[in-house]
Amino acid sequence: MAELRRNRRPTAPGLILKAHYMEPRAISVTAMAAALGMSRKHVSQIVNGHKRVEPTTAARLALVLGTTPRFWMNLQAAVDEWDASIEIADWTPSAIFAPPAPTGNDTAVPGA
């Protein structure tokens, strides 16, 4: 399967939060912070893309907005993966190891 390469950094989860959840509902940073039980400064940093969404924050966002923690974590993981790939773009590994050989005891996963 060919790897899909993005031409731009994925949108930070805080910017998704702002554009798709807060602005359409006229929810202020102060109101969101109160609902999440977090400081206004912390939520502002998330909303403005300066702070990552941690698992606990993802769980709180899910409860407050009727989403899932996985939704917020997937958004953050996409940003983290992009940032890591940029960070190591000029790095070369000192060794590349082959994948393990099949053992014959491997069980096929249904539907795979």
Between 2 and 37, name the one with better pLDDT: 37
The Cα-based distances of 106 to 97, 100, 102 in angstroms read 20, 12, 7
Mapped onto helix, strand or coil, the DSSP state of residue 44 is helix
Quick one: average pLDDT of 83-91? 96
Give the pLDDT score at 106.
63
Inform me whether the pLDDT recorded for 103 exceeds 70. yes
Output the pLDDT for position 108: 63
pTM here is 0.82
Task: Tell me what percent of the residues of the chain surpass a pLDDT of 90.
Answer: 85
Give 87's contacts (C-beta < 8 A, 6+ positions apart). Answer: none
Q: What is the mean pLDDT of residues 63-90?
A: 97
pLDDT at residue 1 is higher than 60: no
The architecture of the domain spanning 13-84 is Orthogonal Bundle (1.10)
